[in-house]
Amino acid sequence: MIRAIYPGSFDPVTLGHLDIIRRAAGVVDELVVGVLINRSKRPLFTIEERVEMLRECTAPLANVRVASFDGLTVEFARSQDARIIVRGLRAVTDFEVEMQIAQTNRIVDPNIETMFLTTGLQYAYLSSTIVKEMASYGADVSKFVTPEVAARIRQKFAAIAPANG
Ligand code: ADP
C-alpha cells in the first residue's frame, strides 16, 4: 500500500493542482491532499472553504482524500502513514525553494521521500496568486479553475467589494 500526501495552501485549488492530483493518484494507491492551515500570508479562502473546494473537485477520484493540517509537513505525512510527499514543479523558479524544502524534510525524516511531478505545460505559469489577482480585477478565470471554484471566487470578490462589482 503506497500512500502519499500532496501538501499546499490551495487558496484556491487550480487546474494545475488538479493535474498533479490526478497524475499522482494514478501512480500511488492513496493520495491525501493536505491543506495547510497556518500560514504567514493571509489566505483569501478559509481553511473550510479550501477543503470543501478540493473535495468537490476530487470527488470522482476514489483514491483521493482531503484533510487539513497544521505544523510540519513531515509530521502530517507520518500521521497519515504516508512515506511520500508529492510536490508540483512549474518553471525553474520553483526549483530552488522546492529543493530546499525537500532537503530539509529529508533531514527531519529520512524515511519520507519527496516526489516531484512536472506541471502540464498549459499550467506552467498558473498559480493561485495569479488567479486571485486576475479575479480581483474582474477578469474571467474559468480557464484556470473549475466552474465551481470560479463561482466561489466571484462570490468572494463580490462580498469584499460589492460597490465595485
Ligand atoms: P504552497 O504555498 O505550499 O506552494 P500551493 O497551493 O501554491 O502551496 O501549491 C501546492 C503545490 O502545488 C506546490 O508543490 C506547487 O509547486 C504546486 N503547484 C502550484 N501550482 C501548480 C501548477 N500550476 N502546476 C503544477 N503544480 C503546481
Q: Please compute the mean of the pLDDT values over residues 40-49 and round it to a whole number.
A: 90
- Contact assessment for residue 21 and residue 31, using Cβ atoms and an 8 Å cutoff: yes
Please indicate whether residue 41 is annotated as part of the active site.
Answer: yes
Percent of the chain predicted with pLDDT > 90:
84
Q: Please compute the mean of the pLDDT values over residues 76-97 and round it to a whole number.
A: 93
Is the pLDDT score of 165 beyond 70? no
Helix axes 47-58, 15-27, angle to 10 degrees: 60
pLDDT band for position 94 (cuts 50, 70, 90): confident
Q: How far is CA 99 from the centre of its chain?
A: 18
Nearest protein CA to atom 5 of ligand 1, as residue:
8
Residue partners of 12: CB distance under 8 A and separation at least 6: 44, 45, 49, 50, 53, 128, 131, 132, 145, 149, 152, 153
- Contact assessment for residue 17 and residue 43, using Cβ atoms and an 8 Å cutoff: no
Closest ligand 1 atom to residue 89 Cα is: 16
Please provide the average confidence, as pLDDT, over all residues in the chain.
Answer: 93
pLDDT band for position 38 (cuts 50, 70, 90): confident
pLDDT at position 163 is 56
pLDDT at position 39 is 67
116-137 pLDDT, tens digit each: 999 888 999 999 999 999 999 9
What is the CATH code for 3-124?
3.40.50.620
Cα dihedral 51, 55, 58, 63, rounded to 10, equals 100
Mutate to test the pocket of ligand 1, among 45, 72, 87 (most ligand atoms within 8 A of CB): 87
pTM of the complete model = 0.93
Q: Which of 17, 87, 132, 152 is catalytic?
A: 17
- Measured CA to CA, the distance from residue 81 to residue 60 in angstroms comes to 23
If one compares 28 and 92, the residue with the highest pLDDT of the two is 28
Partners of 33 in the β-ladder:
6, 66
Partners of 4 in the β-ladder:
31, 84
Is the pLDDT score of 99 beyond 60? yes
Percent of the chain predicted with pLDDT > 70:
96
